[in-house]
Structure 1
Amino acid sequence: MVNNKERDITIYAVGDIGPDRADPGSIFRHVSGVLRQGDIAFCQLEINLSDRGVGPLGKENARDPKIAAAIKEAGFNMVSFASNHCMETGPDAFFDTIDNLKKQGLPVIGVGSNVEEARRPAVVECQDTKIAFLGYNSLARAEHFADVDRPGCAPVRAWTLYEPLEPTQPGTPARAHTFPYRDDLLAMMADVRKAKAQADLVVVSMHSGVHMTPALIAEYQIDMAHAAIDAGADLILQHHAHILKGIEVYGGKVIFYGLGNFAIEVHFMTREWAEMPSVREVRRSLNPDWNPPYPDYPSFPFPPDSRKTMLAKCTIADKEISKVSFLPVIVNKQGEPEVLAPDDGRFGEVVRYMTDITRDQGLDTRFTIDGDEVIIET
């Protein structure tokens, strides 16, 4: 008897990428074999791919356009460019990046020449299943968010309100409350509904969160993710924090609140930079364990816990998500991600870390180890 059942579809998703080396493809040497096994491999691009960067971060954040080919060669075929960095080096570099990615046949989500274009989904058809990807950003200067006649990223911005813990004691600590802009949230929900009308599944990418800080999930992140799922989204991928965050199951759908760093290199975080008074104060408030640079990790000056990361995996069968899991990953001393084997002691460290930070935020998500992956129980 001939088995006509189609094979499962696999989506891999990672957080921030931004190589900065002569051979950019080499940063993916340990993971490309896994990425290429997927039908779809998603990443968040944190840099501009252009020779025309301007402004204070122009030289640092506008990098070699050939990185676009390295991204494709690594196995990625879906890219979000919606971030706080997408317009930092000017509109020329912004459009160059989009063009360079598209020349490699890579769909780019979350950005455009106007807000309508930035909110447009990329729809991939695989095994007769249509999967729509939408991208949004919550962190940028006002002029970097796309508008009717302005290029930039698709916005789901947030307000911040500070509540004094002891209102009668001036100068004592405050609690931060965050809320999505109502109009942005409603627009995103409308986008999800529209995408769901033309696709079987909708994946929503959100650049959001409190950077460098362990565990903490901001209130607006939860509101955005829940609203997207209420509107019909099937999987939420959040990134930006440069450190892993917890995982929630809401309405039977999985929310990754922070995919962490994956393959990103930074060289401006020197000791002199870290000890500038303004930087030192912010750095210590975000994460007391963040004391760059780290001589053993010359291109990876992020907090030590940022070296623990993951490769999210979504399995689709019969046009529905049948399983969501993650592969524990470590960033090595060369700044390169490595997928960990179950018998590697660091595998357990990543799983325990994910369990701890998820529990820390009051989430009761359960994880089960199955071979080389960690199943998220839904």
Structure 2
Amino acid sequence: MTCRFMAVGDIAPDRDDPKSIFAHVRDRIRAADLGYCQLEVNLTTRGQRVPQARHTMRGKPEIANALVDTGLGIVSFAGNHTMDWGPEGMFDTLANLDRAGARHMGAGANILEARAPVIEARGGVRVGFLAVNSILPQNYWADHDKPGCAPMRGHTVYEQIEHDQPGTPARVHTFPHNEDLEALTSSIRALKEQVDIVILSHHAGIHFVPAVIPDYQRAVGRAAIDAGADMVLGCHAHILKGIEFHRGKPIVHSLANFALDLWMTPEHAASRGFREIQALSPGWEPDFTSSYNFPPDSRMSIAVEATLTREGLRDLALVPVWIEKDSAPRFVSQREPEFDRILAYLRKITAIADLPTRYEALGDTIRPEPA
């Protein structure tokens, strides 16, 4: 008894026909028994932009149907854009996903709903999904009587390296919020009693900065595996990060982008906010003719494929993805130069992050294994 699973990264089409962005990848995704993605955008025409939002994301309600049509029926909505348009925007998003037949996790009317799992059975295998978010504008997290996303907060401490030198660089230390981590591990243990496989979506990490994985993200991933998760899928960073194995189980620290449109205007390109983010990634230049205004490293992505069984996860494979100037992702074969570029990049960032993982090409996939 087996279930073929595929996971992709961040989704946020901004176009008249949302289905068109998936044209090159739809068939392969639909061949899986279960498909997962991270929804980055509110699916609503209502709501008011909340003042603490740094960059608001809003998309057509039809995106929900495009996801299901593509085979991406398991959707995490635990992210840093969950409450961009207030409770109205969040509730509209969940309702539109429901109407399209998508299963969603990570956000809800209160903390119990936000932390509730999605459970699906395919091929005789019961699979449970949870989603939490560490990238949290103020008040985006759910509480007992407040809507929002499932929080997995992190703390940051700055340690001055040269204590007698004001203004010099500091070491950055991060660690998980204890109560959130306890709630997460309790949820994983409870879910594991009901299913064969537990998959955690963790919205976390340092966006646009190559290779770096913060301490709190590593700690949460390992704690999730210790509690019974079979795989952790990271999202948010918009670029690939390394993969590690803990107790033989994979922690994919960033799936990167998958299907996002991001248009750029000269006014936004000149803004202080964009220039500060632009400095995080070398070679990032605006392109006013392109719908994909991300740094060069964001052209590279992966889809994760695996066979899920009652005994665990096997046949883990990475399918290299190249994102074109028109934002449309496509799977690349081993004979294409982009395949080697993605493989080399994974090896490089994994070594920089000091993760003991090796990658080998096998057919048109990349196989990660503990070193």
Q: Is the 8 A contact 1:137 1:154 kept in 2?
A: yes
Displacement, 1:271?
A: 3.4
Within 5 A, what are the aligned runs for 1:7-18? 8-18=2-12
Q: Is the 8 A contact 2:266 2:288 kept in 1?
A: no
Match of 1:307 among 299, 305, 313: 299
Give the match for residue 115 of structure 1: 111
The one-letter code sitting in structure 2 at the alignment partner of 1:22 is D
Q: Is the 8 A contact 1:72 1:106 kept in 2?
A: yes
CA distance in structure 1 between the partners assigned to 2:186 and 2:231 by the alignment: 16
2:165 maps to 1:186: no
Match of 1:334 among 312, 326, 335: 326
The one-letter code sitting in structure 1 at the alignment partner of 2:366 is V
Q: Is the 8 A contact 1:243 1:306 kept in 2?
A: yes
The one-letter code sitting in structure 2 at the alignment partner of 1:276 is S
Q: Is the 8 A contact 2:8 2:302 kept in 1?
A: yes
The one-letter code sitting in structure 1 at the alignment partner of 2:271 is M
Match of 2:343 among 329, 348, 351: 351
Within 5 A, what are the aligned runs for 1:1-40? 6=1, 8-40=2-34
Q: Is the 8 A contact 2:211 2:242 kept in 1?
A: yes
The one-letter code sitting in structure 1 at the alignment partner of 2:232 is I
Displacement, 1:253?
A: 0.4
2:35 maps to 1:41: yes
Q: Is the 8 A contact 1:110 1:136 kept in 2?
A: yes
Q: Is the 8 A contact 1:110 1:153 kept in 2?
A: yes
Displacement, 1:341?
A: 0.9
Displacement, 1:158?
A: 0.4
Q: 1:295 to 1:51 in 2, by over 3 A?
A: closer
Instruction: Output the aligned Cα RMSD.
Output: 1.6
Displacement, 1:374?
A: 0.9
Query: What is the count of residue pairs matched by the alignment?
Result: 368
Within 5 A, what are the aligned runs for 1:237-276? 237-267=233-263, 269-276=264-271
The one-letter code sitting in structure 2 at the alignment partner of 1:270 is T
CA distance in structure 2 between the partners assigned to 1:40 and 1:300 by the alignment: 27
The one-letter code sitting in structure 2 at the alignment partner of 1:294 is D
Q: 1:368 to 1:276 in 2, by over 3 A?
A: same
The one-letter code sitting in structure 2 at the alignment partner of 1:371 is G
Query: Where does structure 1 lack aligned partners over 5 or more consecutive residues?
Result: 1-5
What's the TM-score once normalised by structure 1's chain length?
A: 0.94
CA distance in structure 1 between the partners assigned to 2:21 and 2:104 by the alignment: 21
Displacement, 1:45?
A: 0.2
Q: 1:59 to 1:255 in 2, by over 3 A?
A: closer
Other structure's SS at 2:102 match: coil
Q: Is the 8 A contact 1:14 1:43 kept in 2?
A: yes
The one-letter code sitting in structure 1 at the alignment partner of 2:11 is I
Query: Which whole-Å deviations, capped at 9, do the CAs of 1:29-64 have from their partners, x for residues lacking one?
Result: 000011001111000000011110321679962221
Q: 1:229 to 1:70 in 2, by over 3 A?
A: same
Query: Where does structure 2 lack aligned partners over 5 or more consecutive residues?
Result: none
Displacement, 1:122?
A: 0.4
Displacement, 1:287?
A: 1.9
Q: Is the 8 A contact 2:188 2:227 kept in 1?
A: yes
What's the TM-score once normalised by structure 2's chain length?
A: 0.96
Mean CA deviation greater in 189-198 or 137-146: 137-146
CA distance in structure 1 between the partners assigned to 2:89 and 2:269 by the alignment: 27
The one-letter code sitting in structure 1 at the alignment partner of 2:322 is I
2:356 maps to 1:360: no
CA distance in structure 2 between the partners assigned to 1:74 and 1:280 by the alignment: 35
